[in-house]
Structure 1
Amino acid sequence: MNQKKQQSSESFKRHVVDQVNSGAMSKEEARRRYGIKSKSGILTWQRNYEKYGRCSLNLLIDTSFLKPKKSSTTNPDSSEATLLARIKQLERQLEDEQLRSEAYNKMIDIAERELNIPIRKKSNTK
């Protein structure tokens, strides 16, 4: 059992996660297509990207090295469907972040009112 750990670049991981999240392929399809040995690797990548924020992981992806095996059927609508799925995903993330921001502002308002302590920085301070 002398298995060597497979190292993948951040851009490769991001590309695979985006493909799976957009619905373009399942985790198992991505694992087979890109030769990923670990069965839980893609799930781990997804969790890390969600946990640490997708905005901080926006990478320019050079996909020239990601030549998937040629499939027998090519669907011209699949790229449009992928983009629409990505837009919906980003809209959900934006809505979640807006709700989170609103909740934080409410918590600060309540804390300032009930505890009589100024939390927000005044605009005229240095």
Structure 2
Amino acid sequence: MQDVLVWNQDHTRREWKKVPTGRFKFTEEDRMAIVAEYVSGHMPASQIIEKYHLSSRQILFNWMDKYVNEKELVSLQDETNPSDPMAKKSPEDRVKELEAENKKLQKAMELEKLRSKAYDTMIDVAEETFNIPIRKKSGTKQ
């Protein structure tokens, strides 16, 4: 165990807590939630790293690359056989199929929102850092 300064539950102040030393294991959902929290812009990377006890910024950015840019994370392809006619399926099976498809589409939409926010943040940082306009200004002639 090691004493570290961490954010309290409601993120209003920092306090010392005993934290086990060693490596932490994060699930895919945890990693996606951490990336989403960073992309939302409420906390800088240094605070996210401290809050979740990540060993470096690179881990956070690797997760961002994986979960914001990875196409195979959310598969939009339907796993059912397209040649199977709908008439052969019972209403209960059809409802289950539609619920599963709805869940996939919601997950895909969430991922696309996260990706969009990440790209916007990246453009904002690039414009601020390099002092060059990247986004096209409205009302300009083409």
* TM-score normalised by structure 2 residue count: 0.39
Greater percentage in strand: 2
**Structure with more helix by fraction:** 1
Specify which structure has the bigger relative contact order, considering alpha-carbon pairs within 8 angstroms and separated by 6 or more residues: 1
Query: Could you state the TM-score of these two structures normalised by the residue count of structure 1?
Result: 0.44
